[in-house]
Amino acid sequence: MNFSFDTKLNFIAAKVEAGERLTFDEGVALYKTDDLNALGKLADFVRRKKHGRTTYFNVNRHFNHTNICVADCKFCGFYRRARQEDAYTHSIAEGIEIARNAVNEGATELHIVGGLNTKLPFTYYTDLFSSLKREFPALHLKALTMVELDFFARFYKMSDEDVIGKLKAAGMDSCPGGGAEIFAEPTRSRICDHKCDGERWLELAGKVHKAGLKTNATMLYGHIESIEDRVDHFVKLREQQDKTGGFQCFIPLAFYPNGTALSSLPGPDAIDNLKTIAVSRLMIDNFDHIKAYWVMLGKQTAQTALHFGANDLDGTITDGGELTHSYSNDGEVKMSKAELITMIENAGFEAVERDTVYNRVDRQAA
Ligand code: V47
């Protein structure tokens, strides 16, 4: 029996087996195949070579400190203008209470992102981080996207190095992968022309890596972008990783149209979601981890994604994140650790709790 009824995949399979890097055109061919089983098998081969049966999860909580934002991203249902009734900014005391609940529920990480809010001084962030660190020294602060760092440098008239250095000194431990959206132009400008371009996002990620911090990367897909835009995104990420090596994890974000300016679009379907996990695993060969984010994929597709190249299932405690509420696939924003472990084990993998930087967390020893 041939490996695949799609003859193009036989050639790509030989390259994957030999550990050779795939080209842009091969990435497009992978996306365009109808042989979903063969694509999944290839991605699973790479995933098992890197991680065997291990599937990571972490216990975390999202904290969206403000929803006030001057950008006008067409895909976002979260942001508000300052004068809108439901605009909010959390005080530092509120942030500490949210973190306290998270720590009491076993969280090892607080994922902090928010809007581009011109009403806040830079010291809001340094005070927030240093206060959180004072109260909860062991809680990892995975905070601020490259888009927020770019906004800080421009709005507060600081150098990138100064922004990163001061935030790191205050307690920022790593950065999440948001704001990458889709790098390719003109698509990026059509969905988020008020925020930094793809080149700048990558430049800042490189600077954060040089400052000694890890970051993640995302891609928002299933809106107006083309397959070529997606593959271009993968190629740009792996080129940046070749240069600075600080990316830990790639998270494809399935577009959820409800409540956004693009609500007439259908969003990606399950086949597209599984293909995107698989093609990213095969194209971004220098990222260790591919995360299935169940909040956007839905629990069943996220579980299936573990057989299509994903080796990380995020996450347990996401409740408390208003941003998460605004795009949650079916209104569910919380999953218990036991449920998550069962999902991983029922898929045939070994569940391993990790901290943000992928060290194993051993609760018994703690
Ligand atoms: O940057 C916004 C995306 C991102 C929608 O680093 C939407 O571990 C779908 O980056 N439909 C924020 N997506 C979330 C994010 C993230 C999530 C989980 C883990 C990590 C990590 C990072 O959410 C935004 C944007 O790309 N987004 N609106 C929407 N309607």
Q: pLDDT confidence of 322, banded at 50, 70, 90? A: low
CA distance 87 to 141: 24
The pLDDT of residue 366 is above 50 = no
pLDDT, tens digit, for every residue of 19-75? Answer: 999 999 999 999 999 999 999 999 999 999 999 999 999 999 999 999 999 999 999
Q: Whose CA is nearest to atom 21 of ligand 1?
A: 176
Q: How many other C-beta atoms can be found within 10 angstroms of the C-beta atom of residue 18?
A: 7
Judged by average pLDDT, the poorest of 100-114, 139-153, 215-229, 332-346 is 332-346
Of 74, 111, 220, which is best to mutate to test ligand 1, by the most ligand atoms within 8 angstroms of its C-beta?
Answer: 220
Per the prediction, the chain carries an average pLDDT of 94
178 lines ligand 1 (CB under 6 A): yes
Judged by average pLDDT, the poorest of 179-183, 273-277, 318-322, 337-341 is 318-322
The pLDDT of residue 331 is above 90 = no
pLDDT > 70 fraction of the chain, expressed in percent and rounded: 95
Q: Compute the distance from residue 215 Cα to the ligand 1 centre, in Å.
A: 14
pLDDT > 90 fraction of the chain, expressed in percent and rounded: 89
Q: Whose CA is nearest to atom 2 of ligand 1?
A: 76
Angle, CA 70 vertex, CA 321 and CA 66 arms, to 5°: 25
pLDDT for position 334 = 74
Q: Whose CA is nearest to atom 18 of ligand 1?
A: 293
Q: pLDDT confidence of 116, banded at 50, 70, 90? A: very high
- Compute φ and ψ for 71, nearest 5 degrees: -80, 170
Domains of the chain: 52-353 (3.20.20.70)
CA distance 62 to 323: 9
CA of 179, closest atom in ligand 1: 1
Of 76, 80, 253, which is best to mutate to test ligand 1, by the most ligand atoms within 8 angstroms of its C-beta?
Answer: 253
Q: Which tokens sit at 57?
A: 């999860």
pLDDT, tens digit, for every residue of 117-133? Answer: 999 999 999 999 999 99
296 lines ligand 1 (CB under 6 A): yes
Q: pLDDT confidence of 361, banded at 50, 70, 90? A: very high
Q: Whose CA is nearest to atom 14 of ligand 1?
A: 178
pLDDT, tens digit, for every residue of 148-198? Answer: 999 999 999 999 999 999 999 999 999 999 999 999 999 999 999 999 999
Of 172, 183, 218, 221, which is best to mutate to test ligand 1, by the most ligand atoms within 8 angstroms of its C-beta?
Answer: 218
